[in-house]
Amino acid sequence: MGMLVDGVWHDVWYDMKESNGQFKRQPSQFRNWVTADGAAGPTGSGGFQAEPGRYHLYVSLACPWAHRTLIFRKLKKLEELISVSVVDPLMVENGWEFKIGDGATGDHLFGAATLWQIYVKANPHYFGRVTVPVLWDKKTGTIVNNESAEIIRMFNNAFNGLTGSEVDFYPEDLRADIDAMNAMIYDTVNNGVYKAGFATAQEAYAENVGELFETLDSLDERLGKGRYLFGDRQTEADWRLFTTLVRFDAVYVGHFKCNIRRIADYRHLPGYMRDLYQTAGVAETVNLNHIKQHYYRSHKTINPTGIVPVGPALDLDSPHGRAKPYAA
């Protein structure tokens, strides 16, 4: 684990002294958008037109943020258009590394050894953390964007003219509600588990765990009234929640000490999670081995022995029971 300082790699853990033991996630720095016609998106500059074969995704199968982009690539029929390289699950002194085997693919574009080398290709003076996912432009040789929330928005619509995909996970009439739901889920659930797990002060940990379970309790209640977060319409908000839920009992309960309840203990969340998991194509994006290997072996300050727990036994393929009574 480390960061780049003026393009030079340094092996350093998160500095939390300034923040009273609270984990603060750094904003992503590459913020251009791929658009249908190459016009600039909401941030950054233009010149990144949706074209088959032009873009490449760098992901970790362990990472919940990168996982969103893989799900959207699958559901939006982008597999033929956007290629992917998968990093090794272990992230230690060199950060994310490229190795081949057991689901890790190596770097298909440059044969690089580490992800930081890709960041330096895009910006030789890059200063900051080296995170997945990364959306790379083969044509101009740079990183278009390294913010998963934005990459999934691009995938949702920029390539529709090429794929013919019409499914819309961010429909106009629900946008404000989806944004509000995302904000709550991001802060207290997606990032909430990290804020609990990386906390180095008891109070910071307890506060974040409390907020996390308050949100999970309220979501469980909401999911008693509809199949998805917005009734019978599957949206971006469901997929953003899913990537944390599917890691929860295997990793966050033990490794991040988010252990007031398991997802399995809830009434509606387990079936909801399996429903999403069983959506065509999604199971192939879930790699519980990478997930467990990454967290338990990479965070030496949390789990110094690097022992990976054998359990829990999860059955994501069992019937989800969610299609009724919610179907109209």
Ligand X SMILES: N[C@@H](CCC(=O)N[C@@H](CS)C(=O)NCC(=O)O)C(=O)O
Positions that interact with ligand X (CB under 6 A): 1, 28, 63, 65, 129-133, 146-149
To ligand X, the closest distance from the beta carbon of 323 in angstroms equals: 31
Residue 131 assigned to a binding site: yes
The reply to whether 147 sits in an annotated binding site is yes
Whether residue 103 contacts residue 11, with contact meaning beta carbons closer than 8 Å, is answered with no
Kindly tell me which of 34 and 132 has the beta carbon lying closer to ligand X: 132
Minimum distance, C-beta of residue 315 to ligand X, in the bound complex (Å):
25
Comparing CB distances to ligand X, the nearer of 146 and 287 is: 146
User: In terms of Cα–Cα distance, which of 58, 64, 1, 59 is closest to 291?
Assistant: 64
Residue 281: CB minimum distance to ligand X, A:
21
Provide the token pair at 115.
């992800």
Shortest distance, position 210 Cβ to ligand X, whole Å = 23
41: left (phi over 0), alpha (psi -120 to 50) or beta: beta
Distances (CA, A) of 308 to 65, 249, 255, 292: 22, 14, 10, 7
CB of 256 to ligand X, least distance (A): 12
Rounded to whole angstroms, the Cα distance separating 280 from 75 reads 8
- Residue 319 and residue 36: Cα distance in Å, rounded? 39
Q: Please tell me which residue in 58, 63, 258, 295 is annotated as part of the active site.
A: 63
Closer to ligand X by CB, 132 or 196: give it. Answer: 132
Whether 63 sits among the annotated catalytic residues: the reply is: yes
Nearer to ligand X, 197 or 254 (CB): 197
The annotation status of 215 as a binding-site residue, yes or no, is no
Which of the residues 194, 205, 272, 277 is marked catalytic?
Answer: 194
Q: H or E stretch including 294?
A: helix 288-298
Least distance (Å) between residue 278 CB and ligand X: 24
Cβ(195)–Cβ(208) under 8 Å? yes
Neighbours of 327 (CB within 10 A): 8
148 is in an annotated binding site: yes
Could you give the C-alpha distances from 189 to 151, 260, 269, in angstroms and in order?
Answer: 20, 14, 13
Distance (Å) of CA 98 to CA 69, 87, 167, 215, 303: 19, 5, 33, 36, 23
Beta strands in the chain (DSSP E): 3-5, 8-10, 55-59, 83-86, 91-92, 95-96, 100-101, 104-105, 128-129, 134-137, 142-145
Q: For residues 155 and 266, which CB has a smaller minimum distance to ligand X in the complex?
A: 155
In order, the DSSP letters of 138-182 are TTTTEEEE--HHHHHHHHHHTTHHHH-----SS-GGGHHHHHHHH
96 annotated ligand-binding residue: yes
Minimum CB distance to ligand X smaller for 6 or for 173: 6
116 sits in which H/E element: helix 115-122
Q: Is residue 55 among the annotated active site residues?
A: no
Can you tell me which residue has the tokens 């109070």?
203
Annotated binding site: 96, 129-132, 147-148
The catalytic residue positions are 63, 194
Annotated binding site for glutathione: 96, 129-132, 147-148
